[in-house]
């Protein structure tokens, strides 16, 4: 985690080089929107996309990166054709090696880690080892390999800045001398806000009938499909609880989840003297993105001011872990430790993909995760190999449970 004490405001010789991993996604596009507002301050060095080759080519035409990364040779060839036709000299790379390379190039100072899911882990770790400022949206990477990630950041002298709106809000509410120990700066509790998702008031019967389109229609935020489903099941908050524990070097007892349906307060920090600091803003990810990119300075993000008269009221309630068991499963996983969070994350990725493919009912998601956690034994999480082995084991078990339930 970046600390303010050891940080001087940057005096860039020229524009700051940025790699945007997951450029074609929701966070990636918001990042490019912020960058486009500050051409004198930032330069796009590399972009990555997955299947949306046309969109990636369009982004290359607009931002003229040195490199673009595709998942495999087939997409790389299609992209190279499109770039040649546009007379661009962008070099096309592919695969995990390509992602790791653009995350560690010498001309890159900041890496936006906005690939969704476990696929984002390797390039985020590469950025940590290369000592970059990591703008971390890809919470799954930290959930899977928290200790290793934090250790690599420290060894690589990298900076880790949270993009997740809640964690960015918490970071903004911490004092300048926060150096990794909450108690040392008088923090008593972190209050992690949750919108409650689109089914906050739905009955159990309604939850069983939820469709992918309904689950992806979040009331306050426009996001990718996986995180939208995670928000609807409250697994997103579970992953964020684990993320908060790693980012702020604390345990789940210090982090309280508070449902706040308006998503105006993005999280709060309570101090021992009874003061509670909150960060508020319109629900638009360009605010945390601009904050983390410019920190410790401030730049415009395109997000307008908050109209408190329009908002008028702010509501709070406790999460219902009976209707939304995923939050509880995540909490159990972080308490269990070792590779349990990686197993939880992998089972969740399989469950969400199956739900989006209409192979699993919405209320089957927590059941599948719970059953997978019961069958895969966690191991010490001090080696990446053990984490990846348990990730693979969890995916295999979850897939076979899915198949059993369908036959
Ligand atoms: P998204 O689905 O819109 O975009 C995902 C990006 O990752 C795309 O560029 C896609 O091409 C790429 N990608 C997908 N699979 C890949 C793979 N196997 N290998 C390489 N690249 C791959 O998702 P998003 O909403 O932008 O979320 C991205 C990350 O940020 C997630 O971890 C999410 O939890 C986190 N996040 C998102 C938001 C939000 O508002 N969207 C908020 C907080 C955190
Ligand atoms: Mg969030």
pLDDT-derived band at 19 (thresholds 50, 70, 90) equals very high
Which ligand is the nearest neighbour of the Cα of 94?
Answer: 1
* Residue 83 to residue 58: CA distance in whole angstroms: 9
Nearest CA to 355 out of 260, 218, 213 is that of 213
Kindly give the number of the ligand 1 atom that is closest to the alpha carbon of 115.
7
pLDDT single digits (tens) 43-80? 999 999 999 999 999 999 999 999 999 999 999 999 99
Does position 106 have pLDDT exceeding 70, yes or no? Answer: yes
Residues 259-297: tens digit of each pLDDT: 999 999 999 999 999 999 999 999 999 999 999 999 999
- The residue to mutate among 24, 54, 70, 115, having the most atoms of ligand 1 within 8 angstroms of its beta carbon, is 115
Distance 22 CA to ligand 1 centre (A): 6
pLDDT band at 7 (very low <50, low <70, confident <90, very high): low
Mean predicted confidence (pLDDT) in 129-156: 98
Query: Closest residue (by CA) to atom 19 of ligand 1?
Result: 119
Given a cut of 80, whether residue 162 has pLDDT beyond it is yes
Name the strand (E) or helix (H) holding 280: strand 276-280
d(CA 77, ligand 2 centre) in Å: 35
Q: Whose CA is nearest to atom 32 of ligand 1?
A: 138
Question: How far apart (Å, rounded) are the C-alpha atoms in residues 60 and 194?
Answer: 35
pLDDT over 70 at 101, yes or no: yes
In this predicted model, what pLDDT tens digit does every residue of 301-327 receive, in sequence order?
A: 999 999 999 999 999 999 999 999 999
Question: Which atom of ligand 1 has the smallest separation from the CA of 49?
Answer: 11
pLDDT, position 167: 98
* Nearest ligand 1 atom to alpha carbon 141: 32
Q: Model-level pTM greater than 0.85? A: yes
Query: What is the b/e burial string over 234-267, where b = at least 16 CB atoms within 10 angstroms of the residue's CB?
Result: bbbbbbbbbbbbbbbebebebbbbbbbbbbbbbb
Cα of 220 vs centre of ligand 2, distance in Å, is 12
- The per-residue pLDDT of the chain, averaged, comes to 96
Which one of the ligands is nearest to 192 CA? 2
Asked if the bond preceding 296 is cis, omega within 30° of 0, the reply is yes
For residue 10, pLDDT over 90 is answered with no
Q: Which residues line ligand 1 (CB under 6 A)?
A: 22-28, 49-50, 52, 71, 114-116, 119, 137-140, 164, 221, 223-224, 226-227, 285
CB burial of residue 328 (10 Å; 0-12, 13-18, 19+) = middle
Number of Cα atoms under 13 Å in the Cβ half of residue 365 = 38
Q: Where are the alpha helices (DSSP H) in 188-296?
A: 204-208, 212-215, 225-233, 235-247, 286-294
Residue 9 confidence (pLDDT) above 60 = no
- The label of the residue with tokens 């500050």 reads 38
CA of 316 to the centre of ligand 1 (A): 28
Residue 37 banded pLDDT, cuts 50, 70, 90: very high
């Amino acid at each position: 985690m970046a600390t303010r004490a050891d940080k001087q405001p940057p005096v860039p010789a020229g524009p700051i080089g940025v790699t945007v991993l997951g450029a074609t996604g929701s966070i990636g596009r918001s990042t490019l929107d912020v960058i486009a507002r500050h051409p004198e301050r930032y330069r796009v060095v590399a972009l990555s996309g997955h299947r949306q080759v046309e969109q990636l080519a369009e982004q290359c035409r607009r931002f003229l990166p040195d490199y673009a990364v595709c998942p495999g040779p087939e997409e790389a060839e299609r992209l190279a054709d499109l770039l040649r036709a546009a007379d661009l000299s962008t070099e096309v790379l592919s695969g995990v090696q390509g992602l790791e390379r653009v995350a560690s190039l010498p001309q890159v100072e900041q890496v936006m880690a906005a690939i969704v899911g476990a696929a984002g882990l390797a390039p985020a770790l590469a950025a940590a080892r290369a000592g970059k400022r990591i703008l971390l949206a890809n919470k799954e990477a930290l959930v899977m390999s928290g200790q290793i990630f934090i250790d690599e950041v420290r060894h690589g002298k990298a900076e880790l800045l949270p993009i997740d709106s809640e964690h960015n809000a918490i970071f903004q509410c911490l004092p300048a001398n926060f150096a990794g120990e909450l108690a040392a700066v008088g923090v008593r509790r972190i209050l992690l806000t949750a919108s409650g998702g689109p089914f906050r008031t739905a009955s159990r019967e309604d939850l069983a009938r939820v469709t992918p389109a309904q689950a992806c229609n979040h009331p306050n935020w426009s996001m990718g499909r996986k995180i939208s489903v995670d928000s609807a099941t409250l697994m997103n908050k579970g992953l964020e609880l684990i993320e908060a524990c790693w980012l702020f070097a604390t345990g789940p007892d210090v982090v309280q989840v508070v449902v706040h349906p308006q998503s105006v307060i993005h999280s709060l920090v309570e101090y021992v003297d009874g003061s509670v600091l909150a960060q508020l803003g319109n629900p638009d990810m360009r605010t945390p993105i601009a904050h983390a990119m410019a920190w410790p300075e401030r730049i415009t993000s395109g997000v307008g001011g908050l109209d408190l008269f329009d908002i008028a009221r702010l509501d709070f309630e406790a999460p219902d872990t009976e209707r939304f068991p995923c939050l509880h499963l995540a909490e159990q996983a972080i308490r269990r430790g070792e590779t349990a969070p990686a197993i939880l994350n992998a089972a969740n990725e399989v469950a969400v993909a199956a739900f989006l493919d209409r192979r699993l009912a919405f209320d089957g998601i927590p059941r599948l995760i719970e059953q997978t956690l019961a069958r895969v034994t966690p191991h010490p999480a001090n080696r990446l190999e053990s984490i990846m082995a348990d990730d693979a084991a969890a995916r295999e078990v979850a897939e076979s449970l899915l198949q059993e339930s369908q036959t």
